[in-house]
Chain A
Amino acid sequence: CAGEENWVDSRTIYVGHREPPPGAEAYIPQRFPDNRIVSSKYTFWNFIPKNLFEQFRRIANFYFLIIFLVQLIIDTPTSPVTSGLPLLFVITVTAIKQGYEDWLRHKADNAINHCPVHFIQHGKLVRKQSRKLRVGDIVMVKEDEKFPCDLIFLSSSRGDGTCFVTTTGLDGESSHKTYYAVQDTKAFHNEEEIDALHATIECEQPQPDLYKFVGRINVYHDRNEPIARPLGSENLLLRGATLKNTEKIFGVAIYTGMETKMALNYQSKSQKRSAVEKSMNVFLVVYLCILVSKALINTVLKYAWQSEPFRDEPWYNQKTEPEKKRNLFLQAFTDFLAFMVLFNYIIPVSMYVTVEMQKFLGSYFIAWDEEMFDEDTGEGPLVNTSDLNEELGQIEYVFTDKTGTLTENNMEFIECCIEGHVYVPHVICNGQILHDCTGIDMIDSSPGSSGKEREELFFRALCLCHTVQVKEDDNVDGLKKNQVPRRSCIYISSSPDEVALVEGIQRLGYTYLRLKDNYMEILNRENNIEKFELLEVFSFDSVRRRMSVIVKSSTGDIFLFCKGADSSIFPRVKEGKIDQVRARVERNAVEGLRTLCVAYKKLTDEEYSGVQKLLQSAKLALQDRDKKLAEVYEKIERDFILLGATAVEDRLQEKAADTIEALQKAGIKVWVLTGDKMETAAATCYACKLFRRNTQILELTTKKIEEQSLHDVLFDLNKTVIRQNGSLTRDTFSGLSTDTQDYGLIIDGAALSLIMKPRHDGSSGNYREIFLNICRNCSAVLCCRMAPLQKAQIVKLIKLSKEHPITLAIGDGANDVSMILEAHVGIGIIGKEGRQAARNSDYAIPKFKHLKKMLLVHGHFYYIRISELVQYFFYKNVCFIFPQFLYQFFCGFSQQTLYDTAYLTLYNISFTSLPILLYSLMEQHVSPDTLKREPSLYRDVAKNALLRWRAFIYWTFLGVFDALVFFFGAYLLLDNTVVTSNGQV
């Protein structure tokens, strides 16, 4: 690690504030913040100025402020109250709301900052408030307590130096996760021992990624050289997580207060603006232009009218001396401003407030919807932002993840294939484990003796190569468990596939019992317990698409077991019945099963120590640790002997097909983006009716590109769809377009990156255009083998294409977060793969089927409601102000107001904003059942239909017409006559 002392982005922490021995490298002491959490935006003192400043940064508020100031400064027809009061109202309502939210944050902050924390000072346990915690303090946390800051796990009351943690408060995952104490300190069990620890920790500066951490601990023993140990995320206990099943732990604080990963994560995300809001702003600009032109017209007419002296200054209405002397141009400018003030009520001051209230209150109706509540999980829809309610009614593209979104992510072990022989557990009862179903159906003939050996190795591999935890009940001690051999135990893992595999293998006779003291225990068919020492785990990642373990059997043999996607296993296999296995894997994939291949290799002791050395050096690196580790894995995971393959079924979610069909009928293009392999994904797409039997599938895959060049493939496909397109236009004319060819496109990640790759000759844009053109003409697109970032890339590509369609991304896993954030509307499924997606989404729903109601009913309603709200706001102000404009023609353009001050003030803020608010919360132009039954109604509101220019002009003209009726109706009614029966005028 030489030469790495001066990393800019690292920090050095003295454990327990003990300086390292003088011989050690000198560090520049850094200042760290205290453990105070500040999520509030304002303090008591700066609330008013800061809040005002932020509010006046909005164009509308600023505009009204200017009008108000103009009214204060110059002599204007209306009193400053008429614009000052509404402005004050708007500002106050907003400030109260923001102040209340901030007060809640303050309260939450205080509760956290004042809660007591135990920590060690001079060998004794001290209680202090959480906010006084400093970086370097050694903290003790008891069971069921939350960690007060990000801690490096030093030791636990459990002998093996592990502890269990749930991160419910952090990312919503309720499973127990195991964390590991630093090897050299895990023996310290009481305060004195831990206080004697002399160590420094070097680690990266805080990063928001919850699952990544690199650091290094140097432990000093007397005068010896320090011992350096790597620290990873498995050693880091995060603030917000809760300690479970562990009496107490000791840890040293490394990130405190606002630098904890939790605090970094909860900071506001980028704001999304809806299409309605954008058109609202455009309309505002139009009205501003109307306002200015009205004021200009009136100013000009005023001077034309006044050119005759008997009108300008009749004997009954003389000017004062200063008025007579005033400069004409200055006078004209003042008149212009006065007309601006007179007509400024045409800009609806309370529109933003009403719109926001509508969105805020309206979002409760989504969260309250009983139909979107899932009984099984006890989850209902979550609304993380209410700004996008109406955008749900504008969706043109839906990008959906497959696993866990379209499918249940409730895996079921179907079969395994060992060297071409297929094994099926013969009773499958809905994923339930039945104790008597351990038999195996041999489809093929019984394997030979070497096959038998392979078979046993295969089962052991599946039993060992995973990261599944066994959930133990506390009241059952270990002895008893061993006496009850076929107990049903609960396996927990972040990956449902692994659980399905372990459960499946259990039905085939091999039961994984537990991991104890680094020994994995499995129960074989003869009811004997076999112990394997777990040496290394190369955990799964979506780039490698495989995981490996290195175990040492009781006989001393060292095995490396690897399981992973076929594409990542087959190239690394040097022997085994590849062809048979591959055939079986492909067959299964076509049936929509998820397949994994299993391979192994035997390591000699020398090889293993080499592996160990490589790993150690990579793990110690502070920078690019992941990259270095990946390189090492690449080196180790090769020359496998193929054992076989497994197939796991992932059932479609309830009503997934129905939902997709409805979305397609609603004119929404559905794209499936998945990391799965093409055959599996395509099978799922057929099952959920994304592709139909008559859909012609266009393939844009690596295989095809290898045969032809990318250029040719693209141009061929383009030609196909364009020919289709030409005939389509003719068919739509005749109104009989039902039997036109439906196209579905399948593209894989590699092909996509070829298309997206910028090329030197600058023709990449061309490829993209062709690709987009093909996509546009396909009713469904399946993108398989996608990396998480590529999902976001696809979304972005469509989002920025020339039609600027509104996109929606829906997914359930961490790999979908990037596309959820990228799309206009991000929807998270509150699913099995944790809550990351739900946390980062704008809306979260329990099941994919709820998307139908979300879009077709709620989206449609909210779009109708908000667009009518917006149009009405402009309409009512035209109705209000246009008579004022007309009146100027009757009062000598003298800026006389038509209305009373109180009416001018209250018209916008209460008379006309509250009734429409109620309407915009309750309106149902069509019943929800009809909307659900007839998805095509969604097309009626597509493309911002109710806020297009035509609609806007219609509403404006309606306003003008009504204003004419109001004005001339009253004029003619009262013209030169009396309307009272007592003759008074």
Chain B
Amino acid sequence: MKNKTSFLPREGEAQPSRCPDNSAFKQQRLPAWKPQLTIASVLSSFFLTGAFCLTVGVCLVLSANSVREIQVDYSDKCSDCSKLRENSSNWNKECHCSVNFTLKEDILGDVFMYYGLQNFYQNHRRYVRSRSDAQLLGRKVNIQRSNCAPFSTYGNGTPMAPCGAIANSMFNDTIDLFYSHNSSVIQVPLLKTGNSWWTDKNVKFRNPKSYNLSSAFAGTARPPYWQKPVYLLDEEDERNNGYVNDDFIVWMRVSAFATFRNLYRRLRRVRRFAEGLPAGNYTFRISYNFPVTRFKGRKHVILSTVVWSGGSNPFLGIAYLVTGTAATLTGFVITGIHLKLRKKKTYFQRQ
């Protein structure tokens, strides 16, 4: 694509005046800001940037530190359970596990319960692709053509609903939280809906249309690792059942890294727990179904509050602090150099 336009000269054409316009654009004289680097402007910009970053950093660190978080690794807490789950033939044997912990202070405000997995490669490409978004939207699709294999159909041709490795490996531990107060044990009320993103819940996931849910999933079968079919995920709440089940939706949003946490439950702030979690002894009662030892993983349960800047990660605050400190230090160095050079200059001038 060369720009040489080798036209023949057009015959019979008068040449117009070629004098170019005297416009700022054509003469390349558009207004421009050309900062003059004086010692005042340079130093003030360094110090201002430094001060700003330090302030923001301090705020961020303080707010991140105000987050209360309790993380319990329960993968080996019930060693018999983890052993049991290493053999997949024991899939229908129940195994329960209790983990106790004590809160010395109240946790005030909204409290979120997460489950966390380590070394679980949800971001492996084969895994990420192994889903059928069309199926999850409730459409009738031939999932043989999707990327769900090897979790698409059974040997007899019955399609899995939902298909794919992601759905098949859904986290299926149930975790309940109990509060021991004066030898009475109260189950902490937890919300299992409203944990997923609005777009996921309302746009990306939809149940197939039919008069009831079980008929909608007629002709399909549960994924092989599931204990119950998809239309029985939440028998109490119609709007939290099937593909639009919050636990399912949260799981289906795959994580970018092999260590991740997913929102599991939220504290329902009623009665005794209106202010948050009061101090005292608590117990996680876990039905241990999800095997992690086979891929050398860990699993956690986490209780955490959030602040305006999110969870308890001080990284952003530290990054601001480091940047602010660096800018301020540079400002001091420049000031030092400037003062030294100014002295030298006067020395030269005197000579």
Q: By the criterion CB–CB under 8 Å, are B10 and A108 in contact?
A: yes
B229-268 CB mask vs A (1 if < 8 Å, else 0) is 0000000000000000000001001011111111100100
Please give the distance in Å from B180's CB to the nearest CB on chain A.
Answer: 25
Q: Which of A352-369 contact B (CB under 8 A)?
A: 352, 356, 359-360, 363-365, 367-369
A364→B306 CA distance, assembly (Å): 57
Q: By the criterion CB–CB under 8 Å, are B8 and A263 in contact?
A: yes
Please give the distance in Å from A352's CB to the nearest CB on chain B.
Answer: 8
Question: A316 — which chain B residues lie within 8 A by C-beta?
Answer: 120, 127, 165, 168-169, 295
Q: By the criterion CB–CB under 8 Å, are A385 and B4 in contact?
A: yes
A370→B110 CA distance, assembly (Å): 69
Please give the distance in Å from B65's CB to the nearest CB on chain A.
Answer: 13
- Cβ of B280 < 8 Å from any Cβ of A? no
Q: By the criterion CB–CB under 8 Å, are A77 and B125 in contact?
A: yes
Binds B, one of A533-541, A752-760, A950-958, A977-985: A977-985
Question: A363 — which chain B residues lie within 8 A by C-beta?
Answer: 3
A interface, by DSSP: helix, strand, loop or mixed? loop
Q: By the criterion CB–CB under 8 Å, are B259 and A976 in contact?
A: yes
A280-319 CB mask vs B (1 if < 8 Å, else 0) is 0000000000000000000000000000001100111111
Question: B128 — which chain A residues lie within 8 A by C-beta?
Answer: 896
A439→B196 CA distance, assembly (Å): 108
Given contacts A101-B5, A891-B124, contact A378 B150 (CB under 8 A): no
Question: B120 — which chain A residues lie within 8 A by C-beta?
Answer: 316
- Cβ of A105 < 8 Å from any Cβ of B? yes
Binds B, one of A264-272, A559-567, A743-751: A264-272
- Cβ of A37 < 8 Å from any Cβ of B? yes
- Cβ of A226 < 8 Å from any Cβ of B? no
Select one of A97, A170, A319, A973 contacting B1, CB under 8 A. A97
- Cβ of A146 < 8 Å from any Cβ of B? yes
Q: How many residues of B contact A (CB 8 A)?
A: 75
Please give the distance in Å from A278's CB to the nearest CB on chain B.
Answer: 16
A688→B168 CA distance, assembly (Å): 87
- Cβ of A109 < 8 Å from any Cβ of B? yes
Q: By the criterion CB–CB under 8 Å, are B310 and A896 in contact?
A: no
Question: A321 — which chain B residues lie within 8 A by C-beta?
Answer: 150
Question: A973 — which chain B residues lie within 8 A by C-beta?
Answer: 313, 315-316
B124-136 CB mask vs A (1 if < 8 Å, else 0) is 1111101000000
- Cβ of B307 < 8 Å from any Cβ of A? yes
Please give the distance in Å from A178's CB to the nearest CB on chain B.
Answer: 22
Q: By the criterion CB–CB under 8 Å, are A314 and B294 in contact?
A: yes
Q: By the criterion CB–CB under 8 Å, are A262 and B8 in contact?
A: yes
Select one of A105, A380, A385 contacting B2, CB under 8 A. A385
Given contacts A316-B120, A317-B126, A985-B262, contact A380 B3 (CB under 8 A): no
- Cβ of A173 < 8 Å from any Cβ of B? no
Question: A901 — which chain B residues lie within 8 A by C-beta?
Answer: none
B1-32 CB mask vs A (1 if < 8 Å, else 0) is 11111111111100001111110001110101
- Cβ of A431 < 8 Å from any Cβ of B? no
Question: B313 — which chain A residues lie within 8 A by C-beta?
Answer: 972-973, 975-977, 979
B161-194 CB mask vs A (1 if < 8 Å, else 0) is 0000100110000000000000000000000000
Question: A927 — which chain B residues lie within 8 A by C-beta?
Answer: 34
Question: A367 — which chain B residues lie within 8 A by C-beta?
Answer: 20
- Cβ of A922 < 8 Å from any Cβ of B? yes
Question: A146 — which chain B residues lie within 8 A by C-beta?
Answer: 11-12
Select one of A101, A109, A310, A977 contacting B8, CB under 8 A. A109
Measured CB to CB, the nearest residue on chain B to A317 is: B127
Q: By the criterion CB–CB under 8 Å, are B1 and A978 in contact?
A: no
Given contacts A321-B150, A979-B311, A981-B306, contact A314 B121 (CB under 8 A): yes
Please give the distance in Å from B59's CB to the nearest CB on chain A.
Answer: 15
A890→B125 CA distance, assembly (Å): 11
Question: A263 — which chain B residues lie within 8 A by C-beta?
Answer: 8
A97→B2 CA distance, assembly (Å): 10
- Cβ of B195 < 8 Å from any Cβ of A? yes
Please give the distance in Å from A928's CB to the nearest CB on chain B.
Answer: 7
- Cβ of A112 < 8 Å from any Cβ of B? yes
Q: Which of B307-331 contact A (CB under 8 A)?
A: 307-313, 315-316, 319
- Cβ of B332 < 8 Å from any Cβ of A? no
Question: A387 — which chain B residues lie within 8 A by C-beta?
Answer: 2-4
Please count the residue pairs between chain A and chain B whose beta carbons lie under 8 angstroms apart in the complex: 205
Question: B18 — which chain A residues lie within 8 A by C-beta?
Answer: 373, 378-380
Select one of B125, B262, B263, B315 contacting A894, CB under 8 A. B125
Q: Which of B267-298 contact A (CB under 8 A)?
A: 291, 294-296
Q: By the criterion CB–CB under 8 Å, are A267 and B6 in contact?
A: yes
Question: B124 — which chain A residues lie within 8 A by C-beta?
Answer: 317, 891-892, 894, 896
Please give the distance in Å from A900's CB to the nearest CB on chain B.
Answer: 12
Question: A267 — which chain B residues lie within 8 A by C-beta?
Answer: 6
Please give the distance in Å from A74's CB to the nearest CB on chain B.
Answer: 14
A974→B256 CA distance, assembly (Å): 10
- Cβ of B116 < 8 Å from any Cβ of A? yes
Please give the distance in Å from B254's CB to the nearest CB on chain A.
Answer: 10
A890→B260 CA distance, assembly (Å): 12
A97→B20 CA distance, assembly (Å): 24
- Cβ of B149 < 8 Å from any Cβ of A? yes
Measured CB to CB, the nearest residue on chain B to A969 is: B319
A974→B312 CA distance, assembly (Å): 11
- Cβ of B38 < 8 Å from any Cβ of A? no
Question: A364 — which chain B residues lie within 8 A by C-beta?
Answer: 26
- Cβ of B47 < 8 Å from any Cβ of A? no
Question: B346 — which chain A residues lie within 8 A by C-beta?
Answer: none
A367→B114 CA distance, assembly (Å): 66
Q: By the criterion CB–CB under 8 Å, are B261 and A310 in contact?
A: no
- Cβ of A169 < 8 Å from any Cβ of B? yes
A157→B326 CA distance, assembly (Å): 90
Q: Which of A373-391 contact B (CB under 8 A)?
A: 373, 378-380, 384-387
Which of B168, B255, B315: most chain A CB closer than 10 A? B315
Q: By the criterion CB–CB under 8 Å, are A373 and B32 in contact?
A: no
Q: Which of B210-246 contact A (CB under 8 A)?
A: none
Q: By the criterion CB–CB under 8 Å, are A39 and B6 in contact?
A: yes
Measured CB to CB, the nearest residue on chain B to A172 is: B9
Q: By the criterion CB–CB under 8 Å, are A317 and B121 in contact?
A: yes
Given contacts A317-B121, A975-B313, contact A368 B26 (CB under 8 A): yes
Measured CB to CB, the nearest residue on chain B to A382 is: B18
Given contacts A37-B8, A169-B9, contact A385 B28 (CB under 8 A): no
A324-360 CB mask vs B (1 if < 8 Å, else 0) is 0000000000000000000000000000100010011
Q: By the criterion CB–CB under 8 Å, are A268 and B19 in contact?
A: no
Question: A922 — which chain B residues lie within 8 A by C-beta?
Answer: 28, 30
Known: A266-B6, A981-B310. 14 other contacts (CB 8 A): A109-B8, A111-B10, A262-B8, A316-B120, A317-B121, A365-B26, A369-B27, A370-B26, A378-B19, A894-B124, A894-B125, A977-B261, A977-B311, A978-B310
19 pairs of residues in contact across A and B, judged by CB atoms under 8 Å: A39-B8, A112-B10, A266-B7, A310-B295, A316-B165, A317-B130, A319-B126, A360-B3, A373-B18, A890-B123, A894-B123, A894-B125, A924-B32, A969-B319, A976-B260, A976-B261, A978-B306, A980-B310, A981-B308
Residues of B whose CB lies within 8 Å of any CB of A are: 1-12, 17-22, 26-28, 30, 32, 34, 88, 110, 112, 114, 116, 120-121, 123-128, 130, 149-151, 165, 168-169, 195-197, 250, 253, 255-263, 266, 291, 294-296, 304, 306-313, 315-316, 319
5 nearest A-B residue pairs (beta carbon): A316-B169, A977-B311, A894-B125, A977-B313, A979-B310
